[in-house]
Amino acid sequence: MPPTDKQERMKPTFRCGTRKAIDELSEELNIPHNSSMQDWSYTEGNPDDIEKYISHYYLTTDDDKKFVLMEIIIQATEDQNTEELFIKYCETIKPILEANFKLHEFTIHYWACFDNENIDDCWKIATLMRQLWTDKSKLKLLFVCTVNRMRSATAHKIYEDDKRFEVKSAGTDKSANTVISDEILSWADSIIVMEKHHRNFIRQKFPEIYKNKKIVCLYIPDDYDYMQAELIDILKNKVEDVYRRRLI
């Protein structure tokens, strides 16, 4: 599976384990190390000690140590000597990675091996990592119009099953089906409004969110019915254009 445009767009920032975290974990878990060891977290862990590593992960509150520990845990899972144990620990670590996706996104992307088209030539755990990456790295889009019945509701319907996105919609008016709020705005990665006055509304009512979110205006007037064919065509063309240009 070659990397998709979405995977390339969302490629995470490089992160590696800190020396302090490695030193402390080496002592706490009795794993030998010296400064000359390369890829310590991938070479020195013992797959037979995976339960100890997982228990220690739950006990530590330090993100740097959690980051290194997860590298050890994933390698220990990959190195299990039976398929039964491999599956068991994949099922064990999956919810941990889902709950702490942002902390481990670089590691997940690394183990997903998106640069290798043949999954059979990748690590066994790559299948799980690709699934996690696809599920958790969807772009969260909020469509906004006035009453959330025509334009934004149509956009919501068009893209609700698109594998690239997780979508919601709202309206700026108090009578909207879903009224715009701090909560729904905070949820979104990017906000797509239909007219300029919707963007101005967000700027006036939610200034902090306005400063920190990508907000794109499609300039679509309130001239269409819900799921009208012409509206669907306009929305698809405009949304795909801003997506392709990486404005969202």
DSSP string, the chain: -PPPHHHHHTPPPP----HHHHHHHHHHHT----TT-SSHHHHS--GGGHHHHHHHHHH---HHHHHHHHHHHHHHHHT-SSHHHHHHHHHHHHHHHHHTHHHHHHHHHHHHTTT-S-GGGS-TTHHHHHHHHHHH--EEEEEEESSSSSHHHHHHHHHTT-TTEEEEEEESSTTSSSB--HHHHHH-SEEEESSHHHHHHHHHH-HHHHHHSEEEE----S---TT-HHHHHHHHHHHHHHHHTT--
Q: Give the tens place of pLDDT for each residue, 7-26.
A: 444 678 899 999 999 999 99
Of the two residues 205 and 134, the one the predictor is more confident about is: 205
φ, ψ dihedrals at 234, nearest 5° = -65, -45
Whether the per-residue pLDDT at 178 is higher than 80: the answer is yes
Q: Give the tens place of pLDDT for each residue, 33-63.
A: 876 777 899 999 999 999 999 999 999 999 9
Mean pLDDT taken over the chain = 93
Give the pLDDT score at 137.
77
Percent of the chain with pLDDT over 90: 86
- The residues of the chain that CATH labels 3.40.50.2300 are 139-244
**What mean pLDDT is predicted for residues 217-229?**
98
Give the pLDDT score at 172.
98
Give the pLDDT score at 12.
87
Rounded to whole angstroms, the Cα distance separating 69 from 56 reads 8
Give the pLDDT score at 39.
87
> Other C-beta atoms within 10 Å of 198: how many?
25
Of the two residues 175 and 37, the one the predictor is more confident about is: 175
Of the two residues 13 and 90, the one the predictor is more confident about is: 90
Q: Are 194 and 145 in contact (CB under 8 A)?
A: yes
Whether the per-residue pLDDT at 180 is higher than 50: the answer is yes
Q: Are 53 and 45 in contact (CB under 8 A)?
A: yes
Give the pLDDT score at 6.
47
Of the two residues 36 and 90, the one the predictor is more confident about is: 90
Tokens of 169: 């919609």
Q: Give the tens place of pLDDT for each residue, 98-129.
A: 999 989 999 999 999 999 989 999 999 999 99
Q: Regarding the domain delimited by 139-244, which CATH topology (the fold level of the hierarchy) does it fall under?
A: Rossmann fold (3.40.50)
Task: Specify the pTM.
Answer: 0.64
Give the pLDDT score at 35.
67
